[in-house]
């Protein structure tokens, strides 16, 4: 692999995908970040098997190929980069050489063939929503999600998809949050429970604007596709609390 790219583009992509690096050190390859050069793009991916983040940036590719580098090391390094042109050279298959200006930095490679691919999620079931609306829904519900490992289903957010709206619900046994937003489109009615950790990472990548985000659902997995950025996450198994029974229908005062 040999490629040229913009330093700030590379740094932004690596920092964003690094949020999916595994914190557990039981599987060393999950501490790495996959960098793949093909055509005119550089695809950068990290995953902990529960959530995966992929970001694509433009690049001048001289030689196709892919490498896996230790995530923490390369992220710490790219934080120092500025707007100069960067050369990534992994042609030795043992070390990634990063060249910029008159400097060169080397990072030892991990085994690329051991890196797990992101789960493929079909596009038959989906919904679309304005990015700032999805971001607002996440902000208003995540605060009431449980952190108790004994009830893992409550560490997620219930998303109910109906014909023209999405309802997000979280509760921890003491507090309950419900937020409704309009959808731009959807392919049918369904409901899933998404880990709040996933929604938190999604929120960090969403923009406060009118751009549309599309979410796909299949076989207990979710995929958010924003064109240049993709997040794939496992959904939570189990039955969520019947929250509508908790909300009183009548009140003594308002």
Q: What is the pLDDT of residues 69-116, one digit of tens each?
A: 999 999 999 888 877 899 999 998 899 999 988 889 999 999 999 999
**What's the predicted TM-score (pTM) here?**
0.91
Q: Which pLDDT score is estimated for 186?
A: 94
- pLDDT band at residue 245, thresholds of 50, 70 and 90? very high
Find the helix or strand (DSSP H, E) in which 108 lies.
strand 103-108
Q: Which pLDDT score is estimated for 34?
A: 97
Cα atoms in the Cβ-side hemisphere of radius 13 Å centred on 7: 14
- pLDDT band at residue 242, thresholds of 50, 70 and 90? very high
Who's near 246: CB < 8 A, 6+ residues apart?
A: 171, 176
- pLDDT band at residue 209, thresholds of 50, 70 and 90? confident
Q: How many CB atoms lie within 10 A of CB 220?
A: 13
Q: Which pLDDT score is estimated for 131?
A: 94
- pLDDT band at residue 49, thresholds of 50, 70 and 90? very high
Q: Which pLDDT score is estimated for 63?
A: 94
């Amino acid at each position: 692999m040999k490629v040229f790219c913009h330093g700030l583009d590379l740094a932004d992509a690596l920092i964003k995908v690094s949020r999916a690096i595994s914190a557990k050190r039981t599987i060393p390859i999950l501490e790495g970040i996959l960098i793949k050069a093909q055509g005119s793009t550089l695809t950068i991916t990290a995953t902990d098997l529960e959530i995966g983040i992929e970001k694509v940036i433009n690049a001048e590719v001289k030689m196709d190929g892919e490498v896996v580098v230790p995530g923490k090391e390369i992220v710490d390094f790219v934080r120092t980069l500025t707007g100069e042109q960067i050369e990534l050279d992994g042609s030795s298959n043992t070390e990634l050489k990063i060249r910029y200006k008159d400097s060169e930095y080397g990072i030892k490679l991990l085994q690329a063939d051991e890196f797990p691919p992101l789960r493929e999620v079909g596009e038959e079931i989906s919904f679309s929503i304005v990015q700032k609306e999805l971001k607002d829904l996440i902000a208003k519900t995540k605060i009431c999600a449980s952190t108790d490992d004994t009830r893992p289903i409550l560490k997620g957010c219930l998303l109910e998809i109906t014909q023209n709206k999405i309802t997000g619900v979280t509760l921890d046994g003491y507090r309950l949050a419900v937020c409704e937003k309009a959808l731009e489109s959807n392919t049918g009615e369904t409901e899933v429970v998404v880990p709040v950790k996933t929604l938190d990472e999604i929120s960090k990548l969403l923009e406060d604007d009118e751009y549309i985000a599309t979410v796909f659902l299949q076989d207990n997995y979710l995929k958010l596709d924003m064109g240049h950025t993709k997040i794939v996450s496992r959904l939570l198994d189990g039955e969520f609390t019947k929250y509508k029974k908790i909300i009183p229908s009548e009140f003594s005062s308002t």
